[in-house]
Chains A and B, each alone.
Chain A
Amino acid sequence: MVAASTLKTFSVTLRVWRQAGPAAAGGFVDYPAKDISPDMSFLEMLDVVNDELTAKGIEPIAFAHDCREGICGTCSCTINGKPHGPGKGVATCQTYMRSFSDGDTIVVEPFRARAFPVVKDLVTDRAAFDKIQQSGGFITARAGSAPDANALPIPKGDADLAMDAAQCIGCGACVAACKNASAMLFVSAKVGHLGLLPQGQAERDRRVLAMVNTMDTLGFGSCTNQYECSAACPKLISHDFIARMNRDYLTASLRSAFKPAPANTGGGAA
């Protein structure tokens, strides 16, 4: 099985960020990538280059990837200055070499943000996103305690809008694209998804307050409404969710300011 012989291969130069570890200084190094088929994915091109480096006794370029179909959110390269590269609405792994031309120099860096320290080369630590989720990104529903799924009809429009937000893959491109390294799009997607559903109402105030406060303490910047985030987002999550979250946050802050805190919240786990 070989590539269709009608396709012409080409060559590019990769200018890649190499950094040995979190504390090491990093810098760009150039590598040639030859005989590239336009049908190759960007990550397959990196695989080929890495095998060549290994053969030469050079340590291969570390890069994050897993599903290679745009759903797990692991891949995270900034390509020619753009998180996830030139394509609209795709992740790094869904970027194909047909987007580039013979002789190009392609600059590849990790997602840059204060809250995402570099682990090695193109790999960053995005554990901050998990911490935000742990602070409130859920609806409490113990297994075994749920009512019948059709007991609560949900208007199709609400369910569809919730799904639009729920598609977020947690990649962090929104943070990398933002000059303030704000995580507003990511957080607003989760707050929007759960807050749009009737099941999510009981914890709605608590959720938005906790998630936004955690985001602030983890070193993400604030939003100045430039919307670079949604432009870079592989799932094209709309920045309307940010406005929605701002309203939610305000209401929740007001309500919690006027509501006396219950003296005893009981023995529940969370």
Chain B
Amino acid sequence: MATLDSKIPSGPLADKWRKHKTEIKLVNPANKRKYEVIVVGAGLAGSSAASSLADLGYKVKCFVFHDSPRRAHSIAAQGGINAAKNYQNDGDSVHRLFYDTLKGGDYRAREANVHRLAEVSVNIIDQCVAQGVPFAREYGGLLANRSFGGAQVSRTFYARGQTGQQLLLGAYSALSRMVGAGAVDLHTNSEMLDLVVVGGQAKGVIIRNLVTGEISRHSADAVILATGGYGNVFNLSTYARGSNTTAIWRAYKRGACMANPCYTQIHPTCIPVSGDYQSKLTLMSESLRNDGRIWAPKKAGDTRAPAAIPESERDYYLERLYPSFGNLAPRDIASRAAKRICDEGRGVGSTGLGVYLDFADAINRLGEPAVRERYGNLFDIYHEITAESAYKAPMRIYPAVHYTMGGLWVDYNLMSNIPGLFVLGEANFSDHGANRLGASALMQGLADGYFVIPYTIGDYLAGQKPGSRPAADAPEFRQAEADVRGQTTRFLATKGKQPVSHFHKKLGKIMWDRCGMARTKAGLEAALQEIPALREEFNASVNVPGSADTLNQSLEKAGRVADFLDLGELMCRDALTREESCGGHFREEHQYPDGECKRDDEKFGHVAAWEYQGEGKTPVRNTEPLNYEFTKMSLRNYK
């Protein structure tokens, strides 16, 4: 059994981080260059970590599977980033951001981590502005804010509808500066295919160059994974097509615990599916809910055009059900409400899987130019995809998989249960509990990379003798490389009938039906039969054409889908074991009469961290109790 020591510092909540920073070990400046750190991934968390660690003087190697670090999927985040600046003088504070985030996560995150996140949020905005991130401004030249779901203050900073892009380009510019200075050794088109553990500590990785097919071994004093989330296990999601679980999954297979894998965020406002060729679901930013009103016809099976449905026959259901938050109810709640409407036969559009997001009132109130100024680029995206104008008719939206709160287990220092392996950003499980509030993913990625890991990695490295890292031809490295080569050869040799996409689609459907917005014991048990059967079919009949020594996109996908098959099974197992509903995890057996989540703090007020036991063996479920010292786990109420 793995030991899970969260290493949460003692003392009052608001002092923990400050105190911890003064107590953890430091690496002396002259010694920093003797330590080599590997960073895998170059999104917000990876780029900010790599550049900050290089700035401190560590030798950094950064691997990214994209052709450039600027492509990482952080770039697609639209809405914004939260920070407790209280620039609007509307009563915000670090404590309020902490509380909103903890409550938004349905009391399934650690208090101490969330508080630290809220504390450093203010530094992030300063840092980004100093880098030249062009946040939106008011006419007086000061920074503008907007409000976002799950909050009653305006604390979200944004750059039009492209906040993630601008923050990522800021982090990318910091990384580029360090690459140009020779302080970061950057490897693009490089996918991590295994973690190397030597003497129980993470000491390196195996990398495949996606262009040449070359497989290489890299040793280091510590390894940081910042490889993002695994929502593509559902096949259809708002993730980029390349987003995958491979790095964290292979670390799991080397002993890192996977925490709360079933916590998935389904975002309420995405463009509905149009056909079975669909490869991607596009998000319509949550910021649209500031001015758009969500509704569905009151009558089931009402096929009239939206304009022909009179006011009295429309159900603005979020405003009706959650009068104090209205259209700004948190994501999990808004998504489930849409699903219930469609289950009642009141869904709109040709598939019946959609509800309206209507701007008619906003256009009447503010005028079309003002609406265009706020949301023009989102309306354009909607038009490109659907050929419909949201200025003239309401948008049709439906929930889609958007984020995964689960991930590798880490302690307060962001270190996994394998010493020397650190996990940042969406790849870890630490800050969002069972549901993430809008505009807090960007906050966490940058908090981890700029302001947490530069301190906490020193605590580990100070205990490692400089120059003691193993050579990259140690037996553990050779074994890991042989494993990777073996898998590649197996995929190419199978020469079956079905392309990789066939299995990905099938897996996605199982996951969406059984482990999506609503889950049941029977459904999850069925999935635990269906997924292993699909894996067998995959192993026997996948068709991966081409060879291993060139760019081979089918081969890349085969490795990723193989890992998704394993992960999907673990997610279902986690969802089945968690006999309660919380945040994004909704078990139909556990609900209040009004359909709200029924948590069981007594039995499930803990983190579930799964530990791999070997091929075909049932993993072990470890738990870390969530000790709430300062907050009461209470019923989450947005009514």
By a beta-carbon cutoff of 8 Å, the part of chain A in contact with chain B is 1-6, 20-21, 37, 39-41, 43-45, 47-48, 50-51, 54-55, 57-60, 62, 64-74, 87, 90, 94, 96, 98, 119-120, 123, 125-127, 129-130, 133-150, 152-156, 159-160, 162-163, 166-167, 169-170, 193-194, 197, 199-200, 269-270
Contacts and interface: CB of A to CB of B under 8 A. Distances in A.
Interface string B37-68: 00000000000100110110000000000111
Given A144-B127, A149-B85, 18 more contacts: A1-B276, A67-B240, A69-B381, A71-B76, A72-B71, A119-B211, A130-B68, A138-B174, A139-B132, A143-B48, A147-B130, A149-B125, A162-B134, A166-B169, A199-B131, A269-B177, A270-B180, A270-B181
B260 interface: no
20 contacts: A2-B275, A44-B277, A55-B499, A60-B554, A62-B551, A66-B241, A69-B282, A74-B67, A94-B381, A96-B385, A120-B550, A123-B551, A126-B68, A130-B186, A143-B48, A143-B450, A147-B130, A163-B160, A167-B162, A269-B55
A103 B386 CA distance: 23
Contacts of A154: 137, 141
Contacts, number: 247
B545 interface: yes
Contacts of B141: 153-156, 159
Contacts of B130: 139, 141, 145-147, 149, 199
A96 B174 contact: no
A48 B276 CA distance: 11
Contacts of B274: 3-4, 37, 39
B172 A200 contact: no
Interface of B: 48, 51-52, 54-55, 66-73, 75-76, 85, 87, 123, 125-132, 134-143, 159-160, 162, 165-166, 169, 172-174, 176-181, 183, 186, 188, 211, 240-242, 273-280, 282-283, 350-351, 353, 381, 384-387, 450-451, 454, 497, 499, 501-502, 543, 545-546, 550-551, 553-554
Contacts of A130: 68-70, 176, 179, 186, 188
Contacts of A141: 127, 130-131, 174
Nearest to A20: B550
Given A44-B279, A133-B173, A73 B70 contact: yes
A139 B76 contact: no
A199 B351 CA distance: 50
* 8 residue pairs, one from A and one from B, having the closest CB atoms: A153-B141, A3-B275, A134-B180, A146-B130, A138-B173, A141-B130, A4-B350, A146-B126
A269 B181 contact: yes
A62 B557 CA distance: 13
Nearest to A58: B545
Which of A43, A153, A163 counts the most B-chain CB atoms under 10 A from its CB? A163
Nearest to A4: B350
Contacts of A74: 66-67, 71
A259 B554 CA distance: 56
Contact of A51 (B127, B169, B280, B499): B499
Contacts of B502: 51
Given A1-B351, A44-B278, A119-B211, A138 B73 contact: no
B333 to A, nearest CB: 24
Given A47-B277, A62-B553, A194 B126 contact: no
A16 B357 CA distance: 40
Contacts of A166: 134, 159, 166, 169
B129 A149 contact: yes
Nearest to B551: A120
Contact of A147 (B126, B131, B183, B278): B126
A143 B451 contact: yes
Contacts of A159: 134-137, 141
Contact of B159 (A70, A163, A269): A163
A268 B72 CA distance: 28
A146 B129 contact: yes
Given A74-B66, A193-B134, A138 B176 contact: yes
A200 B545 CA distance: 49
A163 B163 CA distance: 11
B548 to A, nearest CB: 13
A45 B277 CA distance: 8
Contacts of B169: 166
Contact of B134 (A48, A60, A197): A197
Contacts of B72: 72
Contact of B172 (A6, A48, A133): A133
Contacts of A68: 240-241, 279-280, 282
